[in-house]
Structure 1
């Protein structure tokens, strides 16, 4: 009976820690949808080249987003035009490191991990992102046309571009552009088709009166709740429950008994998949493991794999890109973590690096006055009958 109680308590405590960050992630995803044009995101993070993938890792690395809050942001970026490689790179680099975790690393783990940890995180993200080009395109990956013309999107998203905006003879919905057709017809001295013109006028009526900031943000929040949260919410719940079970059965303090070497790294990798930890939260745990005698390489595997390979993230990757890619993501990220772990142990042994740290397991967490209301709000917007009035207010019929 005590194990069951421990599981419930640990799962609830994890949810309290994650709730404020998850809400932050949803707000960021809503803001991206509301205020950042899809074409701009596609220009920044689209394409198959190396630079968009590197850029995504560099953008994500300093952001203080945890393992759960990064999921809605990454999904939102992908559906706004970011490539699969860039989305993968962002999804790995962001939770593995951050401005807050770098400071915690320096205070608790010393200068060596302060440099090695973010370097390994960014490199792992870029490697996995670039390697994703080897995987066939997933049928789940939304194309630009599909993303533009979802029925849930505002009419403005499906507008045919004006002649000054594009030279593409088709609009974003894959239909002949009325603007282009009209221009071409005028050039040939032929009257433009009235059907196309009227269709364009109906689709693009909102161009004349662009929605205000409040309306755009409301639409973004509606989308974040109904499309992003609904799709990965179940995986988030499963991930938190499995993490609660793992913490109850295998407390972090017992992990130090596995010692060092490749076997210890494999065990740390296996533990990291069900265990939910963010970059900053994992730092004091890693400090205790290091002080208890675990090798630096095994500790680094935990720091890299814990935030990026938990079950909630894997579930979101599967939901967005398919099962085959989720397996690839987990395998490639795990291989990178093991490789950097082995390299770290070799470097420490070769150069005699001193890893003496001041063990301080106390770590500031979100205050209860913030985490509890966040958890209640998150539960409320996850239950469709309860959230219905809010959705009607955000996007009235």
Structure 2
């Protein structure tokens, strides 16, 4: 077996059980979170609604494109611009699947820092809208959006039809949603991320880029790379692992993990049409300032607390028995093959 194949298999087996767990949790959330109550939950005081929007959005299994219909729905239902932006940022930046795979590939420290940073980034950007005043603009019809313009296969994780009543039925429908819609959105970019991480692990010596990857310029470069592209939180994790292995600082990697999933060209365009140019600029400014600021703070914490990031890499994978990792890998592989999955699930 070549070094590349060995590294690729190791990365996949490390990630598989945690990704499987994350998909199960995402399916249960999808089944049991009452989406029709979001508007009521996010109404009320402006500051409190911004905080609530971040905490409600964080566990939802929606990508940066799939979150658009849900976000515009709550905005038109009475949620403030700040709450809407907070929801739009927190939702794609983190989630049960990305937290689980972060623990497996990035280690405990980054698995905790990542969702906390996502919440801070979302709330910070929402608060910035409290300082602006902008007249309402004509809104973009929900039917006019095309989530497929930025998702891997046009199957964005949008709000699905309400599952049938009944505990088992709701749970089953939620799990089917997770292992079809969500997994379909992840599979292409997750494969690309694993391949890139395996290439880095094979060709780039550990810490080879450490002298270039920790300054402000490196963080700004990550910001410029992350803002316009579409990459979901889970699929970006193997890339982040490769960057850490190459010596890029945890704070610089965090900038990519925050800016990449939260934004893309389609999202920026929809916000501009729905809420106007000023709000769009606040949205981009909030993500930029919070991502870089949190990146700097993360590097400071790593140094001050003497955290061994290299030692934490793949620590989650080491904690899982091989038979569980292999079994999880087989389940995910079967679920990722659509014809086989549809036959097994009766879709």
Please tell me the TM-score bracket, short chain as reference.
0.5 to 0.7
Equivalent residue number for residue 350 of structure 1: 304
Equivalent residue number for residue 227 of structure 1: 141
Aligned equivalents of 2:95 and 2:62: distance in 1? 7
Please state if 1:128 is matched with 2:128: no
Equivalent residue number for residue 246 of structure 2: 292
- Choose the corresponding residue for 1:83, options 80, 84, 87: 80
How many angstroms does 1:369 deviate by? 1.2
The secondary structure found in structure 1 opposite 2:63 is coil
The secondary structure found in structure 2 opposite 1:62 is coil
Pairwise mapping of residues 1-397 of structure 1 onto structure 2 (< 5 A)?
36=36, 41-140=38-137, 227-228=141-142, 230-233=143-146, 237=149, 259-355=213-309, 356=311, 357-358=313-314, 367-369=336-338
TM-score for the superposition, normalised by structure 1: 0.55
Alignment length (residue pairs): 248
Aligned equivalents of 1:297 and 1:42: distance in 2? 35
CA contact (8 A) 1:44 1:82 kept: no
Aligned equivalents of 1:97 and 1:128: distance in 2? 16
Aligned equivalents of 2:228 and 2:95: distance in 1? 22
Equivalent residue number for residue 161 of structure 2: none
How many angstroms does 1:237 deviate by? 2.2
Structure with the bigger RCO (C-alpha within 8 Å, sep 6+) is: 2
Aligned equivalents of 1:64 and 1:371: distance in 2? 23
Change (3 A) 1:368 1:72: farther
Aligned equivalents of 2:121 and 2:57: distance in 1? 13
Unaligned runs of 5+ in 2: 1-22, 154-188, 318-324, 343-347
CA contact (8 A) 2:218 2:252 kept: yes
How many angstroms does 1:236 deviate by? 5.7
The secondary structure found in structure 2 opposite 1:279 is coil
How many angstroms does 1:138 deviate by? 4.0
The secondary structure found in structure 1 opposite 2:144 is helix
Aligned equivalents of 2:114 and 2:129: distance in 1? 22
Equivalent residue number for residue 175 of structure 1: none
CA contact (8 A) 1:41 1:81 kept: no
Aligned equivalents of 2:279 and 2:39: distance in 1? 21
TM-score for the superposition, normalised by structure 2: 0.63
Aligned equivalents of 1:299 and 1:46: distance in 2? 35
Change (3 A) 1:108 1:371: farther
Aligned equivalents of 1:321 and 1:73: distance in 2? 15
CA contact (8 A) 2:125 2:283 kept: yes
| Structure 1 vs Structure 2 CA RMSD | 3.5
Aligned equivalents of 2:340 and 2:269: distance in 1? 24
CA contact (8 A) 2:46 2:83 kept: no
Unaligned runs of 5+ in 1: 1-20, 143-225, 374-397
Aligned equivalents of 2:148 and 2:287: distance in 1? 20
